[in-house]
Amino acid sequence: MSTITENKVVSIHYTLKNDAGEVLDSSDGSEPLVYLHGAGNVVLGLEKALEGKSIGDSVSAIVSPDEGYGERSGPPPQPVPKAAFGPAPVLHPGMAIVAEDQQGNQMPLWIVAVEDAQVLVDHNHPLAGETLHFDAEVVDIREATEQELAHGHVHAHGHDH
Ligand code: ZN
């Protein structure tokens, strides 16, 4: 029977809650999450909890920020003029965007709030500083293809290139 090890493609159903027990994210009612194990596609603490598991196994993992989305750091959210996002941008809180500095280095940013003329962006992931409570069930395990290993992610559900 196959178990979860590096370079397996793993399908899980999961629910993610915060310390207060509020559901932050869940695959309930939709397709399972499919990820490449060992490639950093999901947070480290969840990968560790799933390591060695088999199809049908359930795991519960409490993941601290250092194995989750990191501690919050740096300056508070910064305002950016909405016009900087181009004409009629579709923007909503929680959305990830990629910004480029003057040297052309790309960095991920997250939208915290959308106001009339400006948008507040933060370089911290929305779940930075949070302890993550995962409940997950392993639905499927398969070998990754060579192309998936080369790309470091799974090719499924319309991800096709
Ligand atoms: Zn790819």
Q: How confident is the model at residue 130 (pLDDT cuts 50, 70, 90)?
A: very high
Q: Report CA(42)–ligand 1 centroid distance (Å).
A: 16
In this prediction the pTM is 0.83
Instruction: State the DSSP code for 114.
Output: E
Average of pLDDT values for 35-39? 96
Average of pLDDT values for 35-58? 97
Q: Report CA(159)–ligand 1 centroid distance (Å).
A: 7
d(CA 54, CA 62): 20
**The pLDDT of residue 160:** 64
Full set of structural domains in the chain with CATH = 8-70+127-151 (3.10.50.40), 78-122 (2.40.10.330)
Q: How confident is the model at residue 71 (pLDDT cuts 50, 70, 90)?
A: very high
Q: What is the pLDDT of residues 84-128, one digit of tens each?
A: 888 877 899 989 998 888 899 898 899 999 999 999 999 999 999
Q: Report CA(75)–ligand 1 centroid distance (Å).
A: 34
CB 4 within 8 A of CB 141: yes
Q: What percent of the chain has pLDDT over 90?
A: 80
Q: Report CA(155)–ligand 1 centroid distance (Å).
A: 6
**The pLDDT of residue 24:** 94
